[in-house]
A and B are shown apart, each in its own frame.
Chain A
Amino acid sequence: MALPLKFFNHVIEDYAMRVTFDPSAGEGTIVFNLSLVKNEDLEYAISILKDAFRSGVSVSGLVRFIPSGVKLDDFVIPAGCTGICTMCSITFDSLLIRRGIPINPIGGGIVEIEDRAPVRFTHMILYEHTTVDPLEVLMSQKTTSVMRVMRKGSGNILANIREFHMEAEPLVEMVLDELTSSSYSGILEVGMPNTPLLGVPVSPQYISIAAIGGTNPMAAIRESGRFVQARAMKGLMDIREMVDIRTF
């Protein structure tokens, strides 16, 4: 008998058990997404990653490029393709869990942005109802317009949301403070207690935080009509193995 499928809220918790990221020291392991682009599109991908970081639609400026034929964990980068590792937004959920903050990861979806400010979620897939990463399937729905957000400040991006018990607010504030001076830059909006955030309801006595999805730059590359296989795999990586996109 095959093992039962694992739903995504549990996938997040399993990753959290292995994340050791310390934002103030800039050390430890983070969760990454591996995406694939064609070798000839690499220059373009780098320019988009830079723009995405500059315009604030990526989770982090840290990347790692893996050439074809090289093996990462159990995954071999196919011929003709380059692997791009970017920080996955569940690194943030993992960090909160590791700090002892009671959280419920809620789900991933699409957020409408107007004049650089988030307006509302327009699509949502709840983690406890899916075994596939919501942002992986939402990316190909033609509902994103990440490039427009980068260029004009309005459009739709990939984002996710979690809630924490309001009792832990001081601790969460501490973590958020530490993150401001770290390589993580994915916080989109922090809500009020007992108040829905961007149209998504919150549990009694909880506060929600919306964050940017890790593969927005990949969505932008796809929007331009180029081949991208986003989230070919996920894994853990020491943050020191990644480099700042601005050095390219």
Chain B
Amino acid sequence: MIRTERKYIELLRILREHRDPMGAKRLSELMAERGFVLSDRAVQYYLSYLDTMGFTEKIGNQGRILTPAGMAETDNALVDDRIGFVISKLERLAYRSTFDPVTSTGDVAYNLSFVPEEDFEKAKTVFDDVVRMGCGFFNSYKIIDRDPRIPSGYTGFITVCSITMDGVFQRNGIPVKMAYGGRLEIRNGNPLQFRDLIGYRGTTIDPLELFISSGLTSISNYTRTRNGIALANVREVPESAQQQVEETIRLMNACGFVYPVSMGSQIFNLPPNPYRLSIVAFSGLNYIGNCVEHGIEVKTEIGAGNIPFAKVLE
């Protein structure tokens, strides 16, 4: 029974990742890629069950699409599985971040946000504040209005997701683990200590998203008075990688990436972790948190995908 649930949720997840209707044959191929070997017939059987549940819908003979109920089901089912999902989604983005800081080419990971058109000017000021304070991971952002994911009447913002850094480290042979999302207290422009941490491997909702919607940030205060609480991530690398890490950071800084806040084996009030080097970096979500604090109705997809670095700079 549990095994069955796992399969039908995977079908829903595949449909969720694809905009167009999909037939049983293609679905069974994609299922096999993910380790679920099923005959077309078995897929048909699961699909008719999903139709009855109202999770999928048949579009003529082109195949099936996800219904809003099906979308909600992928957000609610298999809670244990989804605890690992937050991080594995980010790891996929890291792996696909092919950015090379030597040549400034390749893809970076990004977050996609959109705000109502009437709030656009206000949002832009709020974004610029974050750039000015250097707490947005990357020193610029991109405005887009033509994208199928942005509803009409809204303007989109592309911000660079800090998971890009993990991709760059990995490609340089440095093993890196995203450990925590946290809220970092800053006094007179100096980072003082973490107020809270949530581990990426222990939650079904992105830690930084939790802090933003709970009103536990004061990024706007920080941009105004240099005192406040901003969002930061903690990553861990082996201590023996320090030199390589420092070199990589130097190269990335030259390309416009603004980090780290701090780096060391025992920094701030982080839990001790022997032989590991913690890298603390501000998150690109400070742009979004600052919007929320200003009452701007912003919607964000964290880790929306990867795009060429040159496109962000356009």
CB <8 Å contact, B193 and A125 = no
- Complex interface: stretch among B154-162, B235-243, B269-277, B303-311: B269-277
CB <8 Å contact, A4 and B214 = no
B52 contacts chain A at the CB level, 8 A cutoff: no
Contacts of A122 in B (CB 8 A): 75-77, 79, 204
A13 to chain B, nearest CB (A): 16
B198 contacts chain A at the CB level, 8 A cutoff: yes
Distance of A128 Cα from B199 Cα, bound (Å):
9
Contacts of A132 in B (CB 8 A): 196, 198, 216
In the complex, chain A residues 155-214 whose Cβ is within 8 Å of any chain B Cβ = 196, 199-201
Size of interface on B: residues with Cβ below 8 Å to A: 33
B251 to chain A, nearest CB (A): 31
A25 contacts chain B at the CB level, 8 A cutoff: no
B290 to chain A, nearest CB (A): 17
Contacts of A201 in B (CB 8 A): 80
Known: A124-B83, A125-B202, A141-B205. A112 touches B194 (CB 8 A): no
Grouping DSSP codes into helix (H, G, I), strand (E, B) and loop, the A interface class, with mixed when no group exceeds half, is: mixed
B268 contacts chain A at the CB level, 8 A cutoff: yes
Distance of A109 Cα from B204 Cα, bound (Å):
9
CB <8 Å contact, A123 and B204 = yes
CB <8 Å contact, B203 and A125 = yes
Within 8 Å by CB of A137, from B2, B78, B211, lies B211
Q: From A121, which residue of chain B is reached at the shortest CB distance?
A: B79
Known: A4-B270, A124-B204, A129-B203. A137 touches B79 (CB 8 A): no
In the complex, chain B residues 173-225 whose Cβ is within 8 Å of any chain A Cβ = 192-194, 196-199, 201-205, 210-211, 213-216
Size category of the A interface is: 20 to 34
CB <8 Å contact, B79 and A199 = yes
B266 contacts chain A at the CB level, 8 A cutoff: yes
Contacts of B204 in A (CB 8 A): 109, 122-125
B4 to chain A, nearest CB (A): 14
Contacts of B196 in A (CB 8 A): 5, 130-132
CB <8 Å contact, A126 and B203 = yes
Distance of A136 Cα from B198 Cα, bound (Å):
13
CB <8 Å contact, B194 and A5 = yes
Contacts of A124 in B (CB 8 A): 79-80, 82-83, 203-204
CB <8 Å contact, A130 and B214 = no
CB <8 Å contact, B79 and A5 = no
Known: A130-B198, A137-B216. A7 touches B210 (CB 8 A): no
Q: From B73, which residue of chain A is reached at the shortest CB distance?
A: A122
Contacts of B272 in A (CB 8 A): 4
CB <8 Å contact, A5 and B269 = yes
CB <8 Å contact, A120 and B79 = yes
Distance of A121 Cα from B197 Cα, bound (Å):
22
Mask, A93-134, CB within 8 Å of B = 1, is 000000000000001010010000000111111101111100
CB <8 Å contact, B80 and A130 = no
Contacts of B211 in A (CB 8 A): 137
CB <8 Å contact, B269 and A3 = yes
Distance of A201 Cα from B204 Cα, bound (Å):
15
B67 to chain A, nearest CB (A): 18
CB <8 Å contact, B266 and A1 = yes
Contacts of A141 in B (CB 8 A): 205, 210, 213-214
Contacts of A196 in B (CB 8 A): 2, 80
Interface residues of A (CB under 8 A from B): 1-5, 7, 107, 109, 112, 120-126, 128-132, 136-142, 196, 199-201
Q: Please, could you name 6 A-B residue pairs with CB atoms under 8 Å apart, sorted by A?
A: A1-B269, A2-B268, A120-B79, A126-B203, A196-B80, A199-B80
Q: Given A120-B76, A125-B198, A139-B214, 4 more contacts at CB 8 Å?
A: A5-B196, A109-B204, A122-B79, A137-B213
Closest 6 CB pairs of A and B: A129-B202, A129-B199, A126-B202, A2-B269, A122-B76, A137-B210
